[in-house]
Structure 1
Amino acid sequence: MPFAGFYAAAPFAWRVSHLASDFAMAWFKGWSQKDQRRSRTVLLSGVAGLAFIGVTMKRVPPGHVGLIEDWRGQLLPGMYDDSGTHWVLPIVQHPVSVRVYPVKKKLVKEFTTKDGKPVEVMLQMKMAPKIYYVPEIYLRFGRDYGRSFLEQEGAIDVNSVVSQHTFDELVGDNADTEDIVDEIVSRIEDAAFFHKIKLRDPNIVFRDPNADDDEGP
């Protein structure tokens, strides 16, 4: 049961609440009504203060950098690492965590060749942001910057190169295929350098999107 832990803890919570109630009654016993009201006010204020602190203090997940975005979608100055906590005002601000460790991203999309035929391109590589430029990268590509970069910048470079070559040059057993791949990688690396994103282990594969349809069961 998903709530088994909750139900198992319910009797314990009930006992704790009763113990707290008995303690409060014993503590306030013999006090004047004025003193009891003052003490309750102080107690409630303390509980509310602790609850507010718990809501406003946020911790950055390991391997991420923390940013704070206001209600207008603008980032506040500063970044936070995963070594501690930082303050966030509820409602008007919300925390954003961006991964800084290399993460593998993949894009599979069809493009049109020079001779008007469709070709499927599988583009895959590891990506990581340059830490000091994380705010700029987030504003440009969002939290999932790697996927957005490939869908926007990477797809443009692939389309530009693929449109200059025929289907057989890309999919067939052609000696120039490696040079075509190198050209695409070079273009994407230039775009990544401009946007302050580090790339590793690029891999590009050209495939016939209709190959599976031609094969028998």
Structure 2
Amino acid sequence: MSLASAPSLEADRARRTPGAVAWTTVAVLAVVMAFADGFVLTAVQGAVGAIARAQEPVTYWLWISAALVPAFALAVLAAIYYARRLFGPTLRSPLRVVGAGLLIALAGSVVGTAALVVSAIHDYDQQSQMSSTMQMDSSPAPPGVCTGECAADQAQYDVHLRAARLGSALDIGVNVVLVGWIVAFRGGRLERPEVERAGDVEERSRRGDLNP
């Protein structure tokens, strides 16, 4: 192997080696998105959810947000893994970092939307049971006609559907802003800063710091 080819091989190896994940960044992203999306969920639940579940919104927000942190952490890691498969093994250039950040925000929004849907199903079930109890003495509706309890359930379903869509849109917008802010605050890095860049290897090779 010639002396001229050794630096280029070293630089190519550096470009192909995946950088170590910045676990602090992963943790911060997971916690911030969990509590932000948990706030959206709590707000939606308090607006259209079952009354019995809306008695202590702050406690509920803290509880549900903390419970969602592991799911958001897995979502962040999955997004980084997919970003490496999509953009390359290293996420160091600005475009790759932006692309990975958008994937992280999208993955977090999927988790937040799933939590919204589960909460809406639970609320709808409780509200349907309450509606059935309140209308036990009402006369049954004619076949094919949705009135009384049926109409109330359908109206409640429509409300939950619109609320879930709105909450999902809020999750996406909030997560994009928060992920962008956090990544920018941490210097635009998703990988540990001590990982040597390929450009640094090439620069060192020009100065003769690398051995053949």
Which has more radius of gyration? 1
Q: Which fold has the larger relative contact order, with Cα–Cα distance below 8 Å and residues 6 or more apart in sequence?
A: 2
TM-score, normalised via structure 1 length: 0.34
TM-score, normalised via structure 2 length: 0.34
| Greater strand content | 1
